[in-house]
C-alpha cells in the first residue's frame, strides 16, 4: 500500500494500492479490447460526455478542493478558485472543439483527410495540479476516441479516485478508462514500454520526461511531454513597476510555488533593481506560511519532506553563490508541516543555480538587465521554455518582446489564463500542447485517402 501524507499535519490521511506491471498489463489489455467500440462512438456522443464531465466536476468543487488541500497542501481558496475551475473550463473547451467540427473531413486535391484516434493512451500526471493535469490529458484523449490508462502521482492519488467517479457518472463505459496507482519507476515505466500502448502523455520533471521518452522510443510511441520551467517576468523600463512586481510575486508563489509555469525570475532594469526588490519583499512578506485549509492562508507547505529539503538546498546555494538574500532563507517556519519560508533574492546573476534550475518552491530571483536586448537574452538563457510574462506601458512594445521569448506561453501585463489556448513548452520544457483543439491534436492520427 502507498500511504498518502497530509503535508500540513504530517499525518497519513489515506492509502492506495501500489500497482504492479501485471496490473498495468491487465488494464492496458482491457483498454485495447474496449478501443474499437469506443472509437466508433459518434463524435456527438463523446462531446456530450466531455460536457457532462465538466458539469460533474463543477458540481463537486468543494469535495475536490478539500481533497487536494488535504493530500498536497494547496491553499483551499486557490483550490476553489483555480484548481477546480480550470479543469472545468478545459473539459468544456474540449467539448467546444468537437462541436465546432474538429473531426470534420477535409479535402486536398484528390485526397480525403481524416482524423482518427491514436489507440490506447497512457496518461502520467503530477501532484501539483492533480486534477487539472488529469483532465487536460484524459478528457481530450477520450473525446478523440482513444481509451486511456491513467497513472496519477502517488503523492496525490485521492483526487484521481474522485475523478474516476465523475467519469463513470458521465457515462464513460467500463474498460475505456482505467486507473492504476503506483510509482513512476514501476507503473509509469511499465506503461511507457508496454507494446500495446500507442501514446504516452506525461507531465512532470524534465529528468523524468527524458526517461519516459527513452523507454517509449523502444516501441516508437507517440510522446507528449509537459516538463519543467524557469519562466521570466520581463518588466520593461516603461512599465508600472509596483503593479508588475506585485503580480509577479503572486504568480511565483501560487500553489505554494509549486507550478511549472511560475514566473520565478523577475527581470528588471538595473537602475530600478533595488526598488523592485523592496516592492517584492513587501509583497512576499504577506505570504505567511499557514494551514492551507484556512481560507485566509495564501501559502501552504511543500508537498513532502523531500521536496521541502530540495527547495531549502537551492536557497542555501543562492546564498553561497553570492545572491543577496532579501527575505526568507533556509530556516523553516516553526511548527508542523513541510513549510518553506517565502524567499526573495536580489542581485541574482543569470548563471546561478537559482536562476537556471527549477526550484519548485516559493523562491523568487530578481535579476537586473542593462537594456531590452539584454533582458531578452537573459530570459532565453535557460534550458527551459514553458511560460513567461512581459510588462510595459506600450502593449505593442510588450508584444514585440513576447515574440522574442523562446517559450510556449507569454502573458502581457497580467493577462488572464486561458484554458482554451494551447499550453506547452519549447526546448526542455517538453513538446506537444494541451487544451482545446491543440490538446486534441496530441491524441489523433491524420490519414489521407486518395480517390
Residues marked active site are found at: 226, 260
Q: CA quadruple 280, 299, 339, 233: dihedral positive or negative?
A: negative
Cα separations (Å) of 9 from 86, 159, 212, 304? 27, 18, 33, 11
Cα separations (Å) of 77 from 57, 255, 259? 17, 10, 16
Q: How many CB atoms sit inside 10 A of residue 197's CB?
A: 24
Closest to 138 measured CA to CA, from 434, 341, 451: 434
Q: CA quadruple 399, 401, 404, 409: dihedral positive or negative?
A: negative
**Cα Rg, the chain, nearest whole Å:** 22
Contact yes or no for 296/286 (Cβ under 8 A) = no
Contact yes or no for 368/351 (Cβ under 8 A) = no
* Surface-to-core class of residue 38, CB atoms within 10 Å of its CB (0-12 exposed, 13-18 middle, 19+ buried): buried
Contact yes or no for 35/331 (Cβ under 8 A) = no
CA–CA separation, 198 vs 182, rounded Å?
Answer: 20
Contact yes or no for 101/437 (Cβ under 8 A) = no
Q: How many CB atoms sit inside 10 A of residue 16's CB?
A: 18
Contact yes or no for 153/126 (Cβ under 8 A) = yes
Q: How many CB atoms sit inside 10 A of residue 96's CB?
A: 17
- Of all residues in the chain, what percent are helix, strand and coil, respectively (each to 5)? 45, 20, 35
Amino acid at each position: 500500500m502507498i500511504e498518502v501524507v497530509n503535508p500540513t499535519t504530517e499525518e497519513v490521511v489515506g492509502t492506495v494500492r501500489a500497482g504492479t506491471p501485471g496490473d498495468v498489463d491487465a488494464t492496458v489489455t482491457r483498454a485495447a479490447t474496449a478501443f474499437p467500440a469506443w472509437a466508433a462512438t459518434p463524435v456527438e456522443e463523446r462531446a456530450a460526455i466531455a460536457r457532462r464531465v465538466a458539469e460533474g466536476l463543477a458540481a463537486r468543487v468543494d469535495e475536490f478542493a478539500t481533497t487536494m488541500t488535504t493530500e498536497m497542501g494547496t491553499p483551499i481558496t486557490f483550490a476553489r478558485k483555480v484548481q477546480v475551475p480550470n479543469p472545468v473550463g478545459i473539459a468544456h473547451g474540449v467539448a467546444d472543439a468537437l462541436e465546432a467540427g474538429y473531426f470534420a473531413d477535409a479535402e486536398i486535391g484528390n485526397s480525403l483527410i481524416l482524423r482518427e484516434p491514436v489507440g490506447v493512451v497512457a496518461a502520467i500526471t503530477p501532484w501539483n495540479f492533480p486534477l487539472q493535469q488529469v483532465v487536460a490529458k484524459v478528457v481530450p484523449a477520450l473525446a478523440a476516441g482513444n481509451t486511456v490508462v491513467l497513472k496519477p502521482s502517488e503523492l496525490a492519488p485521492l483526487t484521481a479516485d474522485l475523478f474516476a467517479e465523475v467519469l463513470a457518472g458521465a457515462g464513460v463505459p467500463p474498460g475505456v478508462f482505467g486507473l492504476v496507482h503506483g510509482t513512476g519507476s514501476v507503473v509509469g515505466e511499465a506503461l511507457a514500454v508496454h507494446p500495446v500502448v500507442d501514446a504516452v502523455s506525461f507531465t512532470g520533471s524534465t529528468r523524468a520526461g527524458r526517461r519516459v521518452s527513452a523507454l517509449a522510443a523502444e516501441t516508437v510511441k507517440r510522446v507528449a511531454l509537459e516538463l519543467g520551467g524557469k519562466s521570466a517576468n520581463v518588466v520593461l523600463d516603461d512599465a508600472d513597476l509596483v503593479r508588475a512586481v506585485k503580480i509577479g510575486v503572486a504568480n511565483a508563489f501560487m500553489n505554494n510555488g509549486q507550478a511549472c509555469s511560475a514566473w520565478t525570475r523577475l527581470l528588471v532594469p538595473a537602475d530600478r533593481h533595488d526598488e523592485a526588490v523592496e516592492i517584492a519583499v513587501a509583497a512576499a512578506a504577506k505570504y505567511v506560511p499557514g494551514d492551507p485549509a484556512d481560507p485566509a492562508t495564501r501559502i501552504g507547505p511543500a508537498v513532502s519532506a523531500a521536496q521541502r529539503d530540495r527547495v531549502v538546498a537551492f536557497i542555501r546555494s543562492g546564498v553561497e553563490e553570492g545572491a543577496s538574500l532579501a527575505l526568507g532563507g533556509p530556516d523553516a517556519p516553526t511548527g508542523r508541516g513541510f513549510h518553506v519560508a517565502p524567499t526573495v533574492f536580489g542581485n541574482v546573476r543569470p548563471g546561478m543555480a537559482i536562476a537556471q534550475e527549477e526550484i519548485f518552491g516559493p523562491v523568487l530571483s530578481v535579476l537586473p538587465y542593462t537594456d531590452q536586448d539584454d533582458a531578452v537574452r537573459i530570459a532565453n538563457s535557460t534550458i527551459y521554455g514553458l511560460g513567461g510574462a512581459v510588462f510595459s506601458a506600450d502593449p505593442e512594445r510588450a508584444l514585440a518582446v513576447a515574440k522574442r521569448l523562446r517559450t510556449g506561453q507569454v502573458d502581457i501585463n497580467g493577462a488572464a489564463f486561458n484554458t482554451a489556448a494551447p499550453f506547452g513548452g519549447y526546448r526542455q520544457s517538453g513538446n506537444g500542447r494541451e487544451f482545446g483543439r491543440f490538446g486534441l491534436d496530441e491524441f489523433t492520427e491524420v490519414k489521407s485517402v486518395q480517390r
